[in-house]
Every structure is written in structure tokens, then in C-alpha cells.
Structure 1
Amino acid sequence: MKENILAKFPDLKGIAVNATGINTIDCEYAEKLGIAIRNLGAHSTEDVANHTIALLLALNQKLFIHRKYIEDGFWSYQKAGEVKRLSSQTLAIFSLGRIGQAVAKRAKSFGMSVIDYDPFLPEEMA
């Protein structure tokens, strides 16, 4: 909702977004009009973290490469290459918000080392 839409509702007091992102709203203009904006916050944190780990596992196990070989009717362990144990790898996470923390927790459960960078992290969490 951009300025031209928000201006059509002079009595509007609030907007509830059925998602985590609010990038579809002109928040600056809404604030000028005194319109409160609320989103679902942590609604999809677990789902996104789980999907991230699922993709990490697929990449680590080279599932996409193996699938292609199978579809092509070709299989060779030598060509597919070695798969490294997750516990021997390090995962770098940039931003330790809710999702980053959830991904870190899951990665650690696989024995991975986790390093992170977040310039906005409160000191008590550093």
C-alpha cells in the first residue's frame, strides 16, 4: 500500500499484515498519518530455518548432482565425488535474528561449527 492508496482512507488506524514482511507498505507515510502496522513477526521462523537446513543437507549430499546423473542414466561414484560429514564443516551465518539463531541451533545439532556476523547484535548476545 503506497501513499496514493493510504491517502484514500483518512480514518484508517492500523494495518495488519498476514506475513512477516511489511515491504509492501509505505511505512514512512503510514507513520506520518498515525497508522499502526503489525505483522506476524516470528510466524515462519521455524519453517524458514527447517527449509534452510534441508537445502544445506541437499547441497552437502550433492542430491542435485546425483539426481541429474540418475536422470541421464549415468552413475559414477568417482564423478559424484566425496561427501563430507557435516560435523567436519563450518557454517557462516550473516545476521543472527530469529531465523539465524534457529538455523545455528539446527546446524549445531549436526555437530557443525557455527560462526556468525551481525553488526546489530545486542552486546549481551555477542
Structure 2
Amino acid sequence: MKATIYHNNRCSNSRGALERLRAAGIEPEIIDYLANPPSRAQIAALIGAAGLSVREAMRSKEAVYSELGLADASDAQLLDAIAAHPVLLNRPFVVTPKGTRLCRPPELVDQLL
């Protein structure tokens, strides 16, 4: 099975999701989204495919969220902020032929296997 994980190795949820994929015999394409950020369009597509709102896909506890004053921002402004500051994107997003999920907690990966 083909799989892609938008991964941050410093995140325990992201590491856990990757471990679950590998335990299922899947070696996913690993995208370090902080080093190689997805485009705004890719971010919007991931969020939409996962059935989330833009706000649900954000890391609102990041300092940059407050610094940018995003509490009352529109979806378009939030997408712009995520594209400019990928640390604002929650993780990990996992994509397989069965769908796209924000896998917090990592056990949500099982729905995609």
C-alpha cells in the first residue's frame, strides 16, 4: 500500500503514526513538512481531504499563532499563515488510498490501513 506522512520527527504523535505504518509493513513517503513545506494549495487539499476546518488543522498553541493575531482570522488568512509558517500545521497528516487523516492520536492511522 502506498502511503505518505507529513512528518515532524520531534513530535511524538508523528513518530507514533510512522511506527504504526511501519508495523503494518508500509514504508511511507516521508515529507518533512518543516524542511519542505507544502504549497498553500496542497495544505488546503490535505485539510479538505481530512474533513477538517482550517482552524482544526492549526497548532494554535505555537507562539507565531499569537504573534500573528490569528484568533479571529479568516480561513484564507489562516491558510496564508500556515503556508508562510508551516509549524502552524498540525501533524501528522497521513494519506493512503483509503483516505487522509490528521493522526492525533497515532492510532487513527489504523483507519487508513
Is TM more than 0.5 here? no
Q: Report the TM-score when normalising by structure 1.
A: 0.24
TM-score, normalised relative to structure 2: 0.26
